[in-house]
Structure 1
């Protein structure tokens, strides 16, 4: 089912609450694979934890350290202003500037005028501007202007002092906790290392599950797992893999036992039929003799049909089958019986299936159409994932309510396509059995030619 089908199905259920809408939104957008979901289970809590640490703990740490550093710088500036108020002379000013530069790491200068520049826009996510402004307003209580953006290493502060403006340059590192990012770098680097280790570990755990899925899919298609399959991974995955191997062995053993039993029964009955033929050959001719010979022939055909149905082809390996060659043989067979067959192939003509079994599947459906119709159209379409073969004929067709029943072994309609004097009622059953052994199916529909349409759909 596609995403649009799921959305349409949910809409048909009627209006939903906000929580249900949010749940559907997440379900449609979150990954569906086990590996991707496991990665999310690991990464999301780690991201949430780091976000909480960064925006709660670190923010408080930055704020506390920055408050103390800004308060210390502001006290130094306040001391310089106090000295300038007490000693306003020019010589005293030069000495105060030298002391501020050598002892307090402050570059102090005086400019005429009291006009301050317009306020600078505050940078996003910066606590220095707010804290330093609060400290200057609290300790100095004079008009001021600050700039923390211009020079990344210095902070410029201008304070109105009488008829002049005092310009002070302080080091940013002495007013702001600038080395806190080291903790963030270590935290993010450690998280990345842990994520890489988790990905490598998860890949090792997911790989056995994928191998088990591939083995089950191959077995469903009647194929052997590529390269063999052995349980690996965690204990639970090993148990699942071992259970799959035991199940596969039981199924194969049951099929072999069924085949061997019916082969033995067929062999024994053939021996009896051979004696019947010899005895009938020594009997004089007559109408009764012809009837007995016909009965023996019918029994021989029935035995072969039973054996063919039970034998299966699960032991056959996957190989290449050229549909062009197969359809050409069917074309010759139809021409021999005076019937019309047209076919075309869309895509590659070579497919990877079990050749003998798939050829029998196509032949059974084509022979069934040849027996009851005059015209048959075959269209084979091969995509990267599927092989679809469609059979359309102009025969009498099969009633819609009986199209599932005709695939049952030994089922026969009173007046329909599979009513044949020599038939066993196993043709369509064998066809569906082969299709399902490939992991696909055979379905019957109405044909545009007025008869029956049979569709083979198997994965590649």
Structure 2
């Protein structure tokens, strides 16, 4: 079987590239957002916190740290200017020694007056906020040639100021001219934020888990599976939603049971007179008229069986892990005994939870429908790769080379009791319930059945089942 027949969507052009052009910014943001509630909630928590960190850091650096650095630089330069002016009043070695001793003891400033020295010829190796602050203060308060080096020492800033006959050198401790411990605040702030985010993640995980369990329970119920140990948990809103779901599930199951019991009773009441008719006809002998009556009675029995099967649906059968390949082989053997030749192509692991008997009825209805109106039938089963983080899906393609049906009636044929008047009657000799029952069973497993034109010339039925 060619690739186009196995994957009808493969030939359709993708519109993703075209759709990306001209999109509203909010639509682009919506597409970029994660799909899961947990990750969306995480973004809601983390994004404002990260933004707040940037704002606080910017304000701290621009306002607090810069202001503190400017004030410390102004204080240090004022002290240096005061010492230099005092020395200039009487520039003797004795005064230089006294000023150096007092500056070291009282101000923590190592000061040296180097007579006969000159400023280094190399340009000042200072840049950044500290250098800008020192330059502004030295130009404003000292008004003498100076030289600054902030790179040769890790804990000191080398400041040299020229005076008449020499150079005043000050090795200022770095802590005197800028806020050297400001990074402690930033480290503390970011560390605290990380701890808070981790705590928030743990609590968020506990809040999301009941919602995930509720979603799993709803999906399992939609696929005909059950979660016997499921109990409402989490916040009050989640508990209310879970309890409402459980009440709804109970009502649906009760209504199905009541409908099935009612129709079973009706079927039993109708079978009693039909049985009498059959007995009386058997006692009347053989004739063409009686043969027609017997056929009518048999047709009525088949109609009752179909009505009851449709009303019963797939309730009452437990889901079990099933090898779909083995089940398809059984359906092929059944079709072969009915005179239909079916060719198979099975790809990948086809094991999944199913209500085995119900799904066999679904597949049998579809294959028998194809065999009635075509010479050849192909059945292909393919397991699709996991694309969305779930278990993937299995697609079953049933193709035939019959006449097919008009496109406008591809959905109509799934309506109960619907019959085609065209050459291809999907329930020829039946009640018009075959495909309705098949789709009901497929949807009861969380999947669906769709019809389209087949590359083989006839009709294609696609049964999709989530794994």
Task: Output the TM-score relative to the length of structure 2.
Answer: 0.88
1:162-206 CA distance string (max 9 Å, x none): 243322101111222223333333332332232222222222221
Shift of 1:6: 5.9
- Alpha-carbon distance in structure 2 between the residues aligned to 1:412 and 1:378: 24
- Alpha-carbon distance in structure 1 between the residues aligned to 2:449 and 2:139: 86
Alpha carbons 1:440, 1:457 under 8 Å: kept? yes
1:98-134 CA distance string (max 9 Å, x none): 33323322223327224442132514xxx32222222
Q: What's the counterpart of residue 62 of structure 1?
A: 65
Alpha carbons 2:417, 2:431 under 8 Å: kept? yes
Q: What's the counterpart of residue 132 of structure 1?
A: 134
Deviation larger for 319-328 or 374-383: 319-328
Shift of 1:85: 1.4
Alpha carbons 1:381, 1:389 under 8 Å: kept? yes
Q: Does 1:82 align with 2:82?
A: no
- Alpha-carbon distance in structure 2 between the residues aligned to 1:327 and 1:114: 96
Match of 1:388 among 381, 388, 395: 395
Shift of 1:328: 2.6
- Alpha-carbon distance in structure 2 between the residues aligned to 1:68 and 1:332: 94
| Structure 1 gaps, min length 5 | none
SS where residue 346 of structure 2 aligns?
strand
Tell me: CA distance 1:115–1:328, structure 2 relative to 1, closer, same or farther (3 Å). closer
Alpha carbons 2:413, 2:426 under 8 Å: kept? no
Q: What's the counterpart of residue 431 of structure 2?
A: 424
Tell me: CA distance 1:401–1:25, structure 2 relative to 1, closer, same or farther (3 Å). closer
- Alpha-carbon distance in structure 2 between the residues aligned to 1:294 and 1:136: 117
- Alpha-carbon distance in structure 1 between the residues aligned to 2:262 and 2:251: 16
Q: Does 1:40 align with 2:50?
A: no
SS where residue 428 of structure 1 aligns?
helix
Shift of 1:70: 1.9
Match of 1:450 among 451, 454, 457: 457
Shift of 1:58: 5.5
Alpha carbons 1:314, 1:437 under 8 Å: kept? no
SS where residue 435 of structure 1 aligns?
helix
Tell me: CA distance 1:66–1:186, structure 2 relative to 1, closer, same or farther (3 Å). same
- Alpha-carbon distance in structure 2 between the residues aligned to 1:330 and 1:348: 18
Aligned-residue RMSD, C-alpha: 2.3
Tell me: CA distance 1:448–1:421, structure 2 relative to 1, closer, same or farther (3 Å). closer
Q: How does 1:106-125 map to 2 (within 5 A)?
A: 106-109=109-112, 110=114, 112-120=117-125, 122-123=127-128
| Structure 2 gaps, min length 5 | 1-13, 387-391
Q: What's the counterpart of residue 205 of structure 1?
A: 207
Alpha carbons 1:116, 1:145 under 8 Å: kept? no
Tell me: CA distance 1:164–1:456, structure 2 relative to 1, closer, same or farther (3 Å). same
Tell me: CA distance 1:278–1:24, structure 2 relative to 1, closer, same or farther (3 Å). closer
Q: Does 1:238 align with 2:239?
A: yes
- Alpha-carbon distance in structure 2 between the residues aligned to 1:314 and 1:304: 16
Q: How many residues align?
A: 446
Match of 1:406 among 392, 404, 413: 413
- Alpha-carbon distance in structure 2 between the residues aligned to 1:138 and 1:40: 50
- Alpha-carbon distance in structure 2 between the residues aligned to 1:197 and 1:420: 62
1:281-306 CA distance string (max 9 Å, x none): 33244333222211211111111111
- Alpha-carbon distance in structure 2 between the residues aligned to 1:32 and 1:301: 49
Alpha carbons 2:120, 2:147 under 8 Å: kept? no
Q: How does 1:138-149 map to 2 (within 5 A)?
A: 138-149=140-151
- Alpha-carbon distance in structure 1 between the residues aligned to 2:42 and 2:17: 26
Q: What's the counterpart of residue 434 of structure 1?
A: 441
Shift of 1:337: 4.5
Q: What's the counterpart of residue 3 of structure 2?
A: none
Task: Output the TM-score relative to the length of structure 1.
Answer: 0.90
Alpha carbons 1:70, 1:176 under 8 Å: kept? yes
- Alpha-carbon distance in structure 2 between the residues aligned to 1:243 and 1:400: 40
